[in-house]
Structure formats: C-alpha cells, structure tokens
Amino acid sequence: MSDSCIFCKIVSDEAKATIVFRDGQVTAFRDTHPVAPTHILIVPNKHIESVSALEIEDEPLIGHLFTVARKLAEEEGIAKGGYRLITNTGTNGGQTIFHLHLHLIGGQRMRHPMG
Ligand code: AMP
Ligand code: ZN
C-alpha cells in the first residue's frame, strides 16, 4: 500500500470507484474517462509501480489479471467481437498512474495506431 496512490485507495475502499470485480488478488473498476463503451481497469491489490517493477514471484498474479480480463470481457458482452488490453509502462509509455493496471477496452472497433 502506497499512501499517496489513488489505486491503492480504491483497492482499500478509501476512494470511490465503480467496482466490477474484486478478489484476494485483484480489483477491477470502471475508468472515469472511458475511451470506449467498456473501459475497465484491472489492478493488483498490492502496490506494484509498473511492469518495470515486476518480480518473478509476481508471475501468477499477472496471469490472474489476464484471466479476470477474459471473464470481465465475457460479462460485458465484448468477448466475441474482440477487445483491447493495454498496460502503459513509464512516462514514455503513457503511464499516468504509477500502480500497474490493465486497461480492458471494447464495445467498438479499435483503430490503429493505438491510442
Ligand atoms: P494510464 O495513463 O495508463 O496510467 O491510465 C490511467 C487511467 O486511470 C486513465 O485512463 C484515467 O482515466 C484513469 N483514472 C484516473 N483516476 C481514476 C479514478 N480515480 N478512478 C478510475 N479511473 C481513474
Ligand atoms: Zn498503489
């Protein structure tokens, strides 16, 4: 837990969010500035700054983030049509919140390039 991290505060219910899934490892909630009809952020409950801070023991947790994304995509009705998963990493990667998160984005046809 990082005292100044908004996603840690959402995980611990100190800050409000529209939570769509939570278990012992991850929390998923709707992005406040959605870029598509479905835009959900899936975050580890423990504070990990970014992919750059991952340790080998985090591998099962990161696998779980993806299976939760798959389950939520099914629940949102976007699994069949397809969707996009993004993890911005570091400033040049476009990361603005330094608590690792997976964007689950869908419900419309994505254009290239990303973003
Ligand atoms: P990134 O640029 O990859 O770090 O993405 C951060 C995302 O977090 C952006 O899409 C923001 O709209 C979203 N965001 C920021 N603050 C909140 C919040 N309090 N609740 C939900 N989403 C947020
Ligand atoms: Zn955090």
Q: What tens digit of pLDDT does each residue of 76-88 get? A: 999 999 999 999 9
Residue 115 has pLDDT above 60, yes or no: no
Helix (H) or strand (E) holding 13: none
Q: What is the mean pLDDT of residues 25-49?
A: 97
Gap between the Cα atoms of 37 and 61, Å rounded: 27
What pTM did the predictor assign?
0.96
* Among 39, 64, 99, 101, the one annotated catalytic: 101
Q: Which pLDDT value is given to residue 111?
A: 84
The residue among 37 and 111 whose pLDDT is bigger is: 37
The HSE-up count of residue 76 (CA atoms within 13 Å, CB side) is 26
* pLDDT, tens only, 12-31: 999 999 999 999 999 999 99
Q: Which pLDDT value is given to residue 112?
A: 77
Kindly give the distance from the C-alpha atom of residue 74 to the centroid of ligand 2, in angstroms, as a whole number.
27
Is 101 among the catalytic positions? yes
Using the atom order of ligand 1, give the atom closest to the CA of residue 95. 4
